[in-house]
């Protein structure tokens, strides 16, 4: 029966599992960004609160893109259970450090998935995830630029106020 069911999709069990894991990672990212938005809001960092809220929405879109892909191919997309969402941060800067770390982790995940797709000769999924690999260039760029503002502007005096104002204006110009 299980074998028969497997015929409903061209996805291998391994790739389907990896895609579901990534659905969970994107959903987790979305939840983490939402908590970051709330933390910034509580501290009076309005610009950053808006920035993280927007990021949270984008991560949910990423999740749905993966989710729909799995189902469209006849697979079984799983609605993920999200745990381990930090609600508190030690400092304004540490929020952005965590954000960059998260994006670097996601890039690595997609690289691993690309690797698995090649090994499994799943070229259709390989092609599908190209969009995400490209997107990660932008995601990492923006997260890194945000963190760099802490160095460039400095946190003393009205520094944090300036940083917060500039965070939502960071843009990646696609080559």
The residue among 16 and 139 lying less far from Fe ion, judged by its C-beta, is 139
Of the chain, the end-to-end C-alpha distance in Å amounts to 50
CB of 55 to Fe ion, least distance (A): 7
Residue 58 or 162: the one with the smaller Cβ distance to Fe ion is 58
Neighbours of 118 (CB within 10 A): 11
Unique residue bearing structure tokens 């400092």: 91
CB nearer to Fe ion: pick between 26 and 164 = 26
Q: Which residues bind Fe ion (CB under 5 A)?
A: 26, 59, 62, 139
**Among the listed residues 127, 116, 128, the one whose alpha carbon sits nearest the alpha carbon of residue 12:** 116
Minimum Å distance from CB 161 to Fe ion? 26
Question: Among positive and negative, which fits the CA dihedral 96, 100, 101, 102?
Answer: positive
Q: Which residue is nearest to Fe ion (CB)?
A: 62
Tell me, rounded to whole angstroms, the distance of Cα 48 from its chain centroid: 17
Output the smallest distance, CB 6 to Fe ion, in A: 28
Sign of CA dihedral 115, 74, 135, 160: negative
For Fe ion, which is the closer residue by CB, 139 or 164? 139
Min dist CB 2 to Fe ion, Å, is 32
């Amino acid at each position: 029966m299980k074998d028969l069911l497997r015929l409903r999709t061209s996805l291998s069990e391994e790739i389907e599992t990896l895609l579901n894991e990534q659905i969970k990672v994107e959903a987790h990212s979305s939840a983490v960004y939402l908590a970051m938005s709330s933390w910034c809001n509580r501290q009076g960092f309005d610009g950053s609160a808006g920035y993280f809220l927007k990021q949270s929405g984008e991560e949910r879109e990423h999740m749905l893109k993966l989710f729909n892909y799995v189902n469209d191919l006849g697979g079984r997309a799983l609605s993920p259970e999200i745990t381990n969402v930090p609600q508190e941060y030690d400092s304004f800067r540490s929020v952005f450090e965590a954000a960059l770390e998260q994006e670097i982790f996601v890039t690595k995940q997609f690289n691993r998935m690309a690797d698995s797709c090649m090994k499994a000769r799943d070229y259709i999924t390989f092609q599908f995830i190209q969009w995400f690999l490209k997107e990660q260039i932008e995601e990492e760029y923006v997260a890194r630029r945000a963190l760099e503002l802490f160095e460039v502007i400095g946190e003393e005096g009205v520094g944090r106020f300036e940083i917060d104002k500039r965070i939502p204006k960071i843009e990646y110009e696609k080559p």
